Amino acid sequence: MNKSKRVLNGGVVGYGGAFNMGAHHANCMKEAGFNFAAACDIDPKRTVQAKKDFPSIKVYNDVAKFAADPDIDLAVVILPHNLHAPVARKLLAAKKHVIVEKPFTITSGEATDLINLARKNKRMLSVFHNRRWDTDFVTIKKAVDSGLIGKVFQLEFTMASYGHPGYWWRSDKKISGGALYDWGAHLLDWTLNLIKAPVESVYGNFQKRVWKDITNEDHVQTIVNFKNKAKAIIEISSIASVPRQMWRILGTGGGIGCNGFENIPISVTSFCDGRNWVTQVPKEKVGPNPYYRNIAAHLYRGAKLEITAEHARRIIEIITSAEKSSKTGKLVRVKYN
């Protein structure tokens, strides 16, 4: 927590051009009440761009020099997935508060090391699971929490199509971690917020069949078994020629089905008086910049941190367990809950 009551200075490590995420995080910081003070990128062209976008900031091309800057209080890691852990470790060792873009790390062991270091140095550590506040998810969670469909016993989340994933680092398994680490991290965050029971075991089926010129899997399916007997089925595919709904949620008193990112109401089916009643639930309105506003509330006023590193580690544990299961053909019990 910010005991000095001064405005905290934030910086980003990784000002890459993909999705313009460096500028996005910078603007989110500023809107939430931080001073955006520094950007770091190994590519000098990107730090030149950062300086054009934000003329008053300092720029670095060396993460060690960035970490050594005593004026930076909060650092955000926006890098390829395999660099999340080593760079976050340097920043935490320099006693910065740290936000890591999702996925948190490649392994749960890396996640645990970072959690322990953050505790030792008494610094905040969070992961940018910003889609916790997607209007689709917020609407669905409200419907589930209100009991409209009874008790959830099965979730099915799908991000699938047929097409080449592209030639970049997100398609390189050594860098990305694999096909489940990108969208799968979001889907698993949603899953763990809709089913609160501890996870009992994970089953994985990872397939490589078509796109031989990249190293990520073509099709991954993960089944998460909860101790209350509920089940979540997560599917990520680049070889699915027949589409299906992004969301299918079954409860003891009804269900929810919809495709995400569409500006249409969500269909909720409830069983009452001996028949199914279908209700079109309007999308919930979500306020601006909720993730960073929570970070600011936490650091400035001691509010509860919504996205903890421990929660993000659960997601990584499920992903790595799914891959282990795929290799062995057996269910894998998870360590972190």
Please report the pLDDT score of residue 4 as a whole number.
62
Asked if the 132-286 domain carries CATH number 3.30.360.10, the reply is yes
CB neighbours (10 Å) of residue 235?
20
Q: pLDDT (tens digit, 9 = 90+) per residue, 84-118?
A: 999 999 999 999 999 999 999 999 999 999 999 99
pLDDT tens digits, 70-85:
999 999 999 999 999 9
One digit per residue, the tens of pLDDT, for the chain of length 337 reads 676 679 999 999 999 877 789 999 999 999 999 999 999 999 999 999 999 999 999 999 999 999 999 999 999 999 999 999 999 999 999 999 999 999 999 999 999 999 999 999 999 999 999 999 999 999 999 999 999 999 999 999 999 999 999 999 999 999 999 999 999 999 999 999 999 999 999 999 999 999 999 999 999 999 999 999 999 999 999 999 998 889 999 999 999 998 877 777 888 998 877 888 888 888 889 999 999 999 999 999 999 999 999 999 999 999 999 999 999 999 999 988 8
Residue ranges of alpha helices (H) inside 263-308 are: 290-301
- The domain locations on the chain are 9-128+289-303, 132-286
What Cα–Cα distance (Å) separates residue 155 from each residue in 92, 210, 251?
Answer: 36, 28, 9
Token look-up 């016993």 returns 153
Percent of the chain predicted with pLDDT > 70? 99
Is 132-286 the same fold as 9-128+289-303? no
pTM of the model: 0.96
CATH code of the region 9-128+289-303: 3.40.50.720
Specify whether the CB–CB gap between 70 and 62 falls below 8 A: no
